[in-house]
Amino acid sequence: MGLFLQVALLKAQDAIDLSGTWGFQTDVMDFRRGSLSPRYNHLLQETIKLPGITDDYQIGYKNPYKYIDRLTRKYEYMGPAWYQRDIEIPAEWKGKKIFLYFERTHWLSSVFVDTKEVSSIDYVSVPHNHDLSSFVKPGKKHRMTICIDNRFQYNTHKWNHAHTEFTQINWNGILGEIKLLAIDPVYLEDLQVYPNIADQSIKVKLRVNNATKKQIKGKVSFVIEGTNYSLKDEVALVSTDSVTFVETTIPLGKHIKLWDEFNPNLYRINCQLNTSDGKNSYRHEKATTFGMREVKQGKNHVLLNNRPIHLRGNVENAVFPKTGHAPLDDASWERIMVLMKTYGMNHLRFHSWCPPAAAFRMADKHGIYFEVEMPMWGKDAEPDESRYNFFRREIKAILKEYGNHPSFVLYCNGNEITGNFDFIEELTAEGRKADPRHLYSGSTARTRVKSDQYYVSQQTNKGPVKVYEGLPGTDWDKNLESDVDVPVISHESGQRCIYPNFDEIKKYANSPVEARNFEVFSDLLQKNGMLDQAKDFFRASGALTVLEYKAVIEALLRSGKSAGFQLLSMNDFPGQGYAPVGIFDPFWDSKGLVTAEKFSEFCAPTVALLRYDKSSFFNTETFRGKAEVYNFSNSALENAKIKWWLTDTAGNVLKKGTLKRQTIANENVSPVGEFEISLKNISTQKVTVHLAVNDSIKNSWDIWVYPKHQHLMQSTANVLYTDVYDDVAKRQLAQGKTVVLYPSPDQVKGRKSLFHNHFWNPIMFAWAPMTIGNLVHHKQAMFNDFLTSYHTDWQWWDILNHAKVIEMQHAPQQLRPFIQVIDSYDNNQKLGIGFEAKLHGGKLLVLALDTKNDMDNRPATQQLLYSIDNYVKSEKFSPQVAVDETFIQSFLEK
Amino acid sequence: MVRTMILSMMTVFWGQPLMAQEIRLEEKASVNQVYNKAVEAENALSLNDLDIESGYVLYQTEINTDAESEELELENVRDYAVVYVDGKVQGSLTDKSKKLAIKANPGKHLLQFYVENIGRITYGPEITDNSKGIFGTITLDGNDLQDWKMIPLTVRNYPLKDLVFEQRSVNDSPGFYKGHFEHNLSGNKYLNMTGWGMGEVWLNQKYLGSYWEEEKQQSILIPSEDLKPGKNELVIFELKNNQQKKISLSPTPVFK
C-alpha cells in the first residue's frame, strides 16, 4: 500500500488540499520517465513535505565547492524528481471537472495517474492546472505520480531570474497551493475585468466552458464589493457551445473610487454562474480583485488615470536566499512593498521574471506599480521555434493570470534581448492587442520596436539616460536624452559596489545557500593582515554608495521628462560575481548605512532639489543654488512656503532666507527660485545647505568651504618636500629629519585613483582600477586641519581625481596608509594614496597626489596639503613602522 | 466551437495623412576638422587603452597589396567599423562579420577604419572583456597589419559653428552634411533617417540624436520647441556615407 493520507476536505467539498507528506524519489539518471512499466505501479521509496523544494530536505549533490561568483547552493539538484500521493477521489465528484493545481513549480510538471502519463505543463510564470477529468474515477483511489523536471526545457538564457542560480536558485519542488479541485462541468474558465474610468464602469469578460455537450440556460450574477460599496448585477446566458465568451458592461456609479499609489482602492467582483441543461443544475463561482485604473502612454510619462506618474523603482531580481525561491505568501511580499513605500519608491521592475500572485496582491494593496517580464534574456530572440512557442504561450498565460491586478502596469518581454526583433515585435503587438490594461515594451535596453509604448534603457537615440554615479555639482539632468517618441525609464541606474559585510555569513545557517565566497574573501583579507579592517571597508564603501545613490536619484528626479528610474538595486545581488550594491542585504535587512527617513528626503513623491555647480569652495566665493521641486504626489502644493538655511557642523544656523511663496504644480519638476550665500567667514570647512517646502519636505546638501592657501609645501631645515626620491632625500632621512615625498602621479606605478567605488562588482566587470572606495583614517593627526569622515565625500573629488593608488602589498603588515584605498574583495591587497613610515632613521610621508596642476581650482587639495604641512612640522609626526628602501623604489617609475 | 455572445462597442481609428517634407543637404564639412591628436602604436589599441569611454576613432595604416582582391580579417570589432581604402568605402564590419574583401590595384594604399562603439557588453562570455574599438590581430591575406595610427574624433560635442562647410562634391569620406528647411508649423516631428548609414544629427546647432541603419527604429524625434518658425538648420554626421542627398520629416515615428 502506498502513501495514503486521510485528506482534509475544504469548503464546499470541492477542493482537497494536497499539502503535506508525499512519496518522493530522485531520478538523476533521467531513466524513470521513459521506462515506467505500464503494468507495474511503482511505489516511491522516500518522502518529502510539500509545499517545498529538494533543498529543504538536503536532497541532491552535497556541494563541496566555494563558489566565488555567487552564493553556494548546499545541495544542488537539477533533473527530474518524482512526487507521489495516493488519493481517493470522492464519489460525489461524479460528473465534475477535476483539476490538479500547483501554484508554482519549476519548470515542467507531468502527471501520471496510476501508470499512465496524462498531462504535462511547462509554464514558468503561472500556476500549473492539470485537467484530470478524463483520467480519474470518482469513488476510486488513484496513485498520482508527479514528475517535476527543473532542467532547462528550452535553450534559454541561464541568467534569467526565474531560474538562475545567481539569485533564487533553479529549484525543484512544488510551492504555494497544491490542491485537487472539482467543479461543475459548466464553469467560469476565465474572468477579466476592464475598468473604464470615464464611464465609471467595468467591462467584464467571461469565458464559460460547457463540458455537458447540451444546451445550457442560466445566468451570471455579479456582486461587486469594496469599502462602503456593494453592487449587484446579472446577465442571462444561453448556449449550446463548449466555449462561450460573455462580455458585459457594468456601470459602477459615481461613488466608485479610483486606484493609484496614493489611494490604492480595491474592489472585489464575485461572479456566480448558475445554469441548467433542463435536467441537472450547475453552479460555479469565480472572483477577482480589481482596481479602477487605466494606463496610457503619455508624451514622456506613463499616464495612470490620465495623469502622468513618475516611477521611482527598484530592479527586483528574485533574491531570496532564505528560502531559495520567491515567496508565495502575502506577508513576505508585504514586507517588501512596505519597505518600498517607506523608502519613497512606488515601482518594482521584475527583471526577466514574473512574481507569484502574492506579490501582485500586496502591490495592489500598497499602491506599487509593477513591470513584469517573461524569463527572457540575451540571445533568447535568436531563431528557435520551440523556444519562440514557449514565449508565445508564456506571455498569454501571464496576461491572463495576473491581468486583473491594478498593480500590473507595465509589461516587457525580457531583459537586454538580442536576436530577431521581428519576433519581439510580434509578441509586443500581440500583447497590446490581447490586453490594453498594461503598457508594452519589446525589450529593455536594446533595439526599439514599433509597438513599444515605453522604453527602459541605458540610452536612447538622444544619448545616455542611465545614471551610475553622481558628480560634485548638481546642475544637470537627463531631460534632453529622455525626450523621444515614447516614455523613457532609466535602466539599472546606481550599481555602486560596497565591500561585503562578512557578518552576513552567519545569516545563512538555515538557508539552502551560503556565503562561502565571503569565507574565501575574508580568509584572503586575513592573510593580507587586514581582517580587522573588514567592517571599516564595508562602512566606508557603504557610505560612499549612499551618497552616490542620493546624487543618482536626485539627477533622475531633476529629469522631469524622464518617466522614471529603476535602481539596481536597493538590495544586494548575490550573483554575477556577487554585487553588494544594496543598502539592504540579500535578506532585505538594512545594512545600517542610511535610515528610511534620510533616504526619503531624496526619494519620495515630493522632493526638494537644488542645482549648484560644485561642492568645494574657497571662502572668497559665493554659493549659488537654483531650487526646484519634484512633485509627483497627488496634489499641487498650494501657496507653498519655501525656505533655505545654512548650518555649520554643530547645527548652528549661519544664514537663512526664503523664496517667493508660490503654488508648486503637481506632475512636474518646477523651478522655485534661486538664492546666493556668501561663504565669507565660514570656518568650519563643512556646512550644510538646507531647503524646505512647507516644513514637511526637506532636503540638504553638504558643501565644503576652505581658505585659500599660498606658499604651501615649503621646505625647512627639518622638512624636505620633494617629488623625487633621490640622494638629497636620503641624506635628509639619514639625519633623522623629515621628508615629504609627493611624486607626480605619472611617476607612481599602480592603479588610477577614482572617486567612485566600482560599478556593479569587480568580479564580473573586471575593469580597472578595481577599487571600491577609500577608507580615511580620519582621526589621525594629519587630518587635524582637514575635516573628513572615515569615508570619502564630495570634497575628496579633486583630491582623488588627481591621485595615484600605490600598491602596498609588500609593505610591512603593520603599515596602514592614512588614505587607504579599498581593493576588490577577491584580491584584497593593501592599497594607499598617502602613508607615513620610518626610513633610514628619518621620518617619511608619501602622498601620491598631483600638487601642481590646476591648484587654483582645488580648494580641498590645498587644505589637505595645509593640514599635512602642519602635521609634518609638528611633534605629532612620529611614524611607527619602518620600511626599507626597496619598498619605496617598488612603486616609483625609474 | 466558440462563440462570442455580447459584442463590445466598436472603436474606429482614423489614419493620419502622411506628408513628408524633404530637406536637401548640399554642404559638407570634412571629417578631418574633428580629428584629435593621433596615437601611434605597433598594434591597434582598444578604446580603453586610448582612454576613451565612447565615441568615434579613426584607425589607419598603410597596406601593400599584391592582388586585386585580398581578404581583410579582424579579431575584434567593437562595435561597428566602416572600411575605407584611399578614401573609398569598401564596406562595414561588426563583431559578427569581421571579414571583408579589399579591392584595389596592387600597390601601396591607405587603409582606414572609422569605428564607433555602441555600448558596453553587459552579459555573455565576453562580459569580463569590455574592450571597445579594434584590437587583437588584423590581417590582410594572412599577413599581420602593423604600425597603426589611432585618431580620436570629437563628434558629439564638437562646436558646429567652428566647422567649415563647402558645397558638396562627390566624395566617399565620412563628414558633416548641412541643409536648411523652412518649418511650416504643420507639426512634423520625426526625422526619417531611412537610407542613411550611421551617425548623429543636430538641429539649429543643438544635438538631436543618433541613428544606425541596422536598428529597427529609423527616426529621431524633434521636440516641437526646437523647431524655429522659418529657416532651420540641420547637420548630420555620417560615418558610412550612403551618398544620401536628402532627408525627410515624418509626422509619426518610423520603424523598419
The residues that bridge with A237 in the sheet, in sequence order, are A218
The number of beta carbons lying within 10 Å of the beta carbon of residue B210 is: 22
Asked if the Cβ–Cβ distance from A484 to B5 is below 8 Å, we say no
pLDDT digits (tens, 9 = 90+) for A274-321: 999 999 999 999 999 999 999 999 999 999 999 999 999 999 999 999
B179 & B85 share domain: no
Asked if the Cβ–Cβ distance from B209 to A203 is below 8 Å, we say no
Tell how many helices (H) and how many strands (E) occur in chain B: 0, 20
- Chain A contact for B37, CB < 8 A? no
Q: Which residues of A touch B79 (CB under 8 A)?
A: none
B68 & B147 share domain: yes
B202/B204 Cα distance (integer angstroms):
6
Q: Report the residue from B4, B128, B253 with minimal CB separation from A485.
A: B253
Question: Residue B79 domain-assigned?
Answer: yes
Q: What is the DSSP string of A715-768?
A: --SSEEEESS--HHHHHHHHTT-EEEE---GGGB-SEEP-SSPPBS-TTTS--T
- Chain B contact for A460, CB < 8 A? yes
- Chain A contact for B2, CB < 8 A? yes
Exposed e or buried b for every residue in B136-157, given b needs 16+ CB within 10 A?
eebebeeeebeebebbbbebee
- Chain B contact for A454, CB < 8 A? no
Nine-digit cell string for A729: 632625500
CA A580 to chain centre: 11
Q: Report the residue from B122, B123, B215 with minimal CB separation from A447.
A: B215
Residue of B nearest to A763 (CA): B128
What is the maximum alpha-carbon separation in chain A? 115
Confidence at residue A10, expressed as pLDDT on a 0 to 100 scale: 38
Q: What is the dihedral of CA B151, B155, B161, B162, to 10 degrees?
A: -10
Q: What's the structural domain count of chain B? A: 2
B228 & B169 share domain: yes
- The model's pTM: 0.94
B103 & B191 share domain: no
Domains, chain A, in order of start with CATH, read 11-182 (2.60.120.260), 186-290 (2.60.40.10), 606-706 (2.60.40.10), 719-890 (no CATH)
B169 & B149 share domain: no
Q: Which residues of B touch A246 (CB under 8 A)?
A: 5-6
Polymer length of chain A: 894
Coil/strand/helix, residue A457: strand
Q: Which of residues 411-450 of A touch B (CB under 8 A)?
A: 416, 421, 425, 445, 447-450
B130 & B224 share domain: no
Helix (H) or strand (E) holding A886: helix A885-890
Asked if the Cβ–Cβ distance from A416 to B122 is below 8 Å, we say yes
Domain boundary among B153, B174, B195: B153
B141 & B42 share domain: yes
Asked if the Cβ–Cβ distance from B1 to A241 is below 8 Å, we say yes
Question: Residue B12 domain-assigned?
Answer: no
Q: Which residues of A touch B221 (CB under 8 A)?
A: 462, 483-485
Asked if the Cβ–Cβ distance from A766 to B208 is below 8 Å, we say no
Asked if the Cβ–Cβ distance from A461 to B130 is below 8 Å, we say no
Q: Which residues of B touch A242 (CB under 8 A)?
A: 1-2
A371/A357 Cα distance (integer angstroms):
14
B230 & B127 share domain: no
Interface contacts A/B by beta carbons within 8 Å: 88
Q: Report the residue from A449, A458, A766 with minimal CB separation from B255.
A: A449
Q: Which residues of A touch B156 (CB under 8 A)?
A: 463
Confidence at residue A436, expressed as pLDDT on a 0 to 100 scale: 97
B42 & B146 share domain: yes
Q: What is the CATH number of the domain that holds B204?
A: 2.60.120.260
The residues that bridge with A662 in the sheet, in sequence order, are A640
> In angstroms, what separates the C-alpha of A657 from chain B's closest C-alpha?
35
Profile chain A (894 residues) by mean pLDDT over runs of 10 residues: 41 80 95 71 93 98 98 98 96 96 96 93 98 97 96 95 96 98 96 98 98 96 97 96 96 97 98 96 96 97 98 98 98 98 98 98 98 96 97 98 98 95 98 98 95 96 94 98 97 97 98 98 98 98 98 98 98 97 98 98 98 98 98 98 98 97 98 98 96 96 97 96 97 98 96 96 90 98 98 98 97 97 98 98 98 96 98 98 97 93
For residue A519, the 8-state DSSP code is H
B112/B58 Cα distance (integer angstroms):
7
Tell how many helices (H) and how many strands (E) occur in chain A: 13, 53
A420/A459 Cα distance (integer angstroms):
20
Residue of B nearest to A453 (CA): B253
**CA distances to A4, A6, A638, A782 from A1, in Å:** 8, 14, 76, 81
Half-sphere exposure of A272 (CA within 13 A, CB side): 8
- Chain A contact for B119, CB < 8 A? yes
Q: Which residues of B touch A204 (CB under 8 A)?
A: none
Question: Residue B220 domain-assigned?
Answer: yes
Q: Report the residue from B2, B156, B255 with minimal CB separation from A241.
A: B2
Exposed e or buried b for every residue in A416-442, given b needs 16+ CB within 10 A?
bbbbebebbbbbbebbbeebebbbbbb
Domain boundary among B119, B153, B187: B153
Structural domain boundaries, residue B238: 21-31+157-250
Q: Report the residue from B3, B128, B223 with minimal CB separation from A483.
A: B223
CA B245 to chain centre: 15
A320/A336 Cα distance (integer angstroms):
12
Contact between B19 and B190 under an 8 Å Cβ cutoff? The reply is: no
Question: Residue B2 domain-assigned?
Answer: no
pLDDT digits (tens, 9 = 90+) for B55-110: 899 999 999 999 999 999 999 888 889 999 998 999 999 888 899 999 999 999 99
Mean pLDDT of chain B: 85
Asked if the Cβ–Cβ distance from A462 to B209 is below 8 Å, we say yes
Half-sphere exposure of A180 (CA within 13 A, CB side): 22
| Chosen from A164, A461, A576 to mutate, greatest number of chain B CBs within 10 A | A461
Question: Residue B232 domain-assigned?
Answer: yes
Q: Which residues of A touch B211 (CB under 8 A)?
A: 461
> Is the previous residue joined to B66 through a cis bond, with omega within 30 degrees of 0?
no
> In angstroms, what separates the C-alpha of A525 from chain B's closest C-alpha?
23
Asked if the Cβ–Cβ distance from B4 to A247 is below 8 Å, we say yes
Amino acid at A618: F
Q: Which residues of chain B fall below pLDDT 50?
A: 1-18, 120-125
CA B84 to chain centre: 14
Domain boundary among B111, B134, B153: B153
Asked if the Cβ–Cβ distance from A243 to B3 is below 8 Å, we say yes
B48 & B120 share domain: yes
Question: Residue B4 domain-assigned?
Answer: no
Q: What is the DSSP string of A311-355?
A: EEEEEE----TTTSS---SHHHHHHHHHHHHHTT--EEEETT---
Q: Which residues of A touch B128 (CB under 8 A)?
A: 764-766
A47 closest CA partner among A87, A4, A9, A17: A4
Q: Which residues of A touch B207 (CB under 8 A)?
A: 462-463, 480
Confidence at residue B5, expressed as pLDDT on a 0 to 100 scale: 46
B64 & B116 share domain: yes
Confidence at residue B9, expressed as pLDDT on a 0 to 100 scale: 33
A638 closest CA partner among A611, A609, A606: A606
Nine-digit cell string for B177: 552634411
B44 & B26 share domain: no
Q: Which residues of B touch A767 (CB under 8 A)?
A: 48, 130
Q: Report the residue from A157, A421, A459 with minimal CB separation from B216.
A: A421
Polymer length of chain B: 256
A567/A586 Cα distance (integer angstroms):
15
Question: Residue B78 domain-assigned?
Answer: yes
Asked if the Cβ–Cβ distance from A447 to B221 is below 8 Å, we say no
For residue B227, the 8-state DSSP code is P
Q: Report the residue from A245, A425, A447 with minimal CB separation from B5.
A: A245
Q: Which of residues 132-161 of B touch A (CB under 8 A)?
A: 156
> In angstroms, what separates the C-alpha of A831 from chain B's closest C-alpha?
23
